[in-house]
Amino acid sequence: MIARHEIVPRVARLTALGVGVALLATACGGSPSGGSSGSTTSAAAAGGVSCPSPTSSGGPQASGGASTVAPSDVPKSSTTSPTPLKIGTLLPQTGALAFLGPPEIAGVNLAVKQINDAGGVLGHPIEAIHRDSGDTTTDIATQSVTNLLGQGVSAIVGAASSGVSQTVINQITGSGTVMFSPANTSPVFSTWPAHGLYWRTAPSDVLQGRVLGNYIASCGAQTLGLLVLNDAYGTGLRDNVVKAFQAAGGKVVDQELFNEGDSQFSSQVDKVVAAKPDAIAVISFDQAKQIIPLLTAKGIKPTQMFFVDGNTSDYSKDLKPGTLSGSRGTIPGTFASADFKTQLKTIDPSLKDYNYAGESWDAVNLIALAAEEAKSTKGTDIAMHLQDVSEGGQKCFDFATCVTLLRQGKDIDYDGQSGPVTFASNGDPTEAYIGLYQFDNNNVPQPISQEYGKLS
């Protein structure tokens, strides 16, 4: 365990890195409490990890999303399109990321309802057609995309998994259809030749990796081990976590890969634990349900474990109480507000996770607003206006208010539930928040702070 006087210079070095990330406190996370489950069968790692309490500094405030124009007061469109705007979704209803499906689908359906309550787009109600993305162990995504394209959708919201998106991005964008992911974070899409038709509201993992790697170092960890899903998401995020952690003076002592569809992780866990890292980052989807008990059985403390958006989830029904108490995780985007959660619950009363609901809501609103500005429901026309509705002009935070401004001939700058939205020409967000979460004694992640960063 390193002494407190050694942690302070480490934090100072993080500040000096100039990584463009400022901490915005929303609540203070005190010293983690609780213990791990399972018996110790081998020597635990050093465990000298004590994360600093959040402090407030910098970053634009995220929008509360409050509407200033009532749906009944939205002026009618002066243009009526020949065909209604039809949006498909390619979101996980099955597979390793299925827990993300309900909040994402609820976000889409809430946006569709609110848009239609305000009179729809270009004189028509809009429609959402939901199809399953599955995961990379199946061909469900390709079949779903073929079905959606056959129904004439202008845009497809999804996929959530970067690996799945890689399998269908050419099929979607090659047809002239907008592909708009609320959750893809792999850096590979920043340079993908998608003809200007690929967009996302989740930031590249250059930002999440930067935040997590620096945060682990700020907690006092000098050595790091990683368990990593071997796909575009996992390895891309790993690379950025490693880069940031090493830049902060840390050393990566081991990193072990596993594949989608694997069900045995003992050998990878054994190798990582044998390297005796201060901290272990688990970069996975629901494979974490099998990995976590293996780590705790080896004596790894919950405060030594760090998670990412693919696995920072509610484990209250999967793990013994206290198993993850004090563990930390990151999820891109702002924390869902109480009001937004209430609205989502009217769509899906069973919701317990809200990951990427805001990004999904924003994706549908942005597509609808771009169609209004383009005066067209054609995919290629919509794509040409997505960047414009996200920057410059008058700030607005929901469809009713933004479309009113557009119909009054004004330029708009949309920000939404996921925070500030400003696109680069490649479809990437240029600024975003990364939320930091701490697991409670019931193994449920609770928000503790948000870090704002810019990507150029």
Please report, for the domain that includes residue 100, its CATH number: 3.40.50.2300
Are residue 183 and residue 284 in the same domain, yes or no?
no
Give yes or no for residue 8 having a pLDDT over 80.
no
Which tens digits make up the pLDDT trace of 85-133? 999 999 999 998 899 999 999 999 999 999 999 999 999 999 999 999 9
- Over 50: is that where the pLDDT of 369 sits? yes
pLDDT band at 67 (very low <50, low <70, confident <90, very high): low
Residue 444: Cβ within 10 Å count? 16
Q: For helices 101-117 and 338-347, what crossing angle results, to 10°?
A: 90
Query: 371 and 273 in one domain?
Result: no
Check whether 395 has a pLDDT greater than 70: yes
Task: Over range 245-262, report the average pLDDT.
Answer: 97
Secondary structure E strands in 217-326: 223-229, 251-258, 279-283, 305-307
3-state secondary structure of 362: helix
Is the pLDDT score of 19 beyond 80? Answer: no
Give pLDDT, residue 313: 93
Confidence check: pLDDT of 332 > 70: yes
pLDDT(226) > 70: yes
- 185-223 pLDDT, tens digit per residue, is 999 999 999 999 999 999 999 999 999 999 999 999 999
User: For residue 64, is it within any domain?
Assistant: no
- The pLDDT mean for the chain works out to 88
Radius of gyration of the chain (CA): 22
Position 1 in a domain: no
If you search the block for the tokens 């302070």, which residue do you land on? 8
Q: What is the pLDDT of residue 55?
A: 53
In the structure, what pLDDT confidence band is assigned to residue 29 with cuts at 50, 70 and 90? very low
- Both 238 and 134 in one domain: the answer is no
Q: Does one domain contain both 300 and 446?
A: yes
Mean pLDDT over 437-449 rounds to 96
Q: Residues 67, 71, 75, 79: is their CA dihedral positive or negative?
A: positive
Confidence class for position 11, pLDDT limits 50, 70, 90:
very low
The Cα 309–Cα 222 span in angstroms is: 23
Instruction: Determine, yes or no, domain membership for 4.
Output: no
pLDDT class for 353, splitting at 50, 70, 90? confident
Q: Does the pLDDT value for residue 32 go beyond 80? A: no
Regarding whether 267 and 160 lie in a shared domain, the answer is no
Q: Evaluate whether residue 84 is within a structural domain.
A: yes
> How confident is residue 455, by pLDDT bands cut at 50, 70 and 90?
confident
Predicted pLDDT of residue 24? 33
According to the model, what pLDDT value does residue 52 have?
A: 85
The pLDDT confidence band at residue 7, using thresholds 50, 70 and 90, is: very low
Give yes or no for residue 17 having a pLDDT over 60. no
- Residues contacting residue 197 through CB under 8 Å, at least 6 positions apart: 172, 173, 176, 177, 178, 179, 379, 380, 383
- The angle formed by the CA atoms of residues 215, 188 and 280, to the nearest 5 degrees, is 30
Do residue 87 and residue 185 come from a single domain?
yes
Same domain, 179 and 90: yes
Please check whether residue 13 lies inside any domain of the structure.
Answer: no
Q: What pLDDT shows up at residue 108?
A: 98
Tell me, yes or no, whether 302 and 404 share the same domain. no
Could you tell me if 254 and 303 lie in one domain? yes
**Structure confidence at residue 54 as a pLDDT band (50, 70, 90):** low
What burial letters (b/e) apply to 110-124, b meaning 16+ CB within 10 Å? bbbebbbebbbbbeb
| pLDDT tens readout for residues 147-186 | 999 999 999 999 999 999 999 999 999 999 999 999 999 9
Judge whether 10 lies within some domain: no
Phi and psi at residue 35, to the nearest 5°: -130, 180
Closest to 413 (Cα-Cα) out of 391, 397, 430: 391
Give the residue among 132, 139, 130 at the shortest CA–CA distance from 87.
Answer: 130
Please tell me whether residues 301 and 438 are part of one structural domain.
yes
- Mean pLDDT, range 312-323, rounded to an integer: 96
Answer yes or no: do 221 and 255 share one domain: yes
% of the chain with per-residue pLDDT over 70: 86
pLDDT tier at 9 (50, 70, 90 boundaries)?
A: very low
Q: What are phi and psi of 349, to 5 degrees?
A: -65, -15
- Could you give the number of structural domains in the chain? 2
pLDDT at position 12 is 32
- For the chain, the first-to-last Cα distance in angstroms comes to 37
User: What is the pLDDT averaged over residues 306-316?
Assistant: 96
In the predicted structure, residue 65 carries a pLDDT above the cut 80 = no
Composition of the chain by helix, strand, coil, percent to 5: 35, 20, 45
In a domain, 7, yes or no: no
Q: Is the pLDDT of residue 382 over 80?
A: yes
Residue-range definition of the domain harbouring residue 360:
71-203+336-423
Contact 156, 88 (CB under 8 A): yes
Short-list 102, 147, 148, 104, CA closest to 127:
148
pLDDT band at 47 (very low <50, low <70, confident <90, very high): low
Specify whether 323 is located in the same domain as 379: no
Considering the domain boundaries, does residue 276 fall inside one?
Answer: yes
Per-residue pLDDT at 23 exceeds 70? no
Please tell me the distance from the alpha carbon of residue 310 to that of residue 202, in angstroms, as a whole number: 13
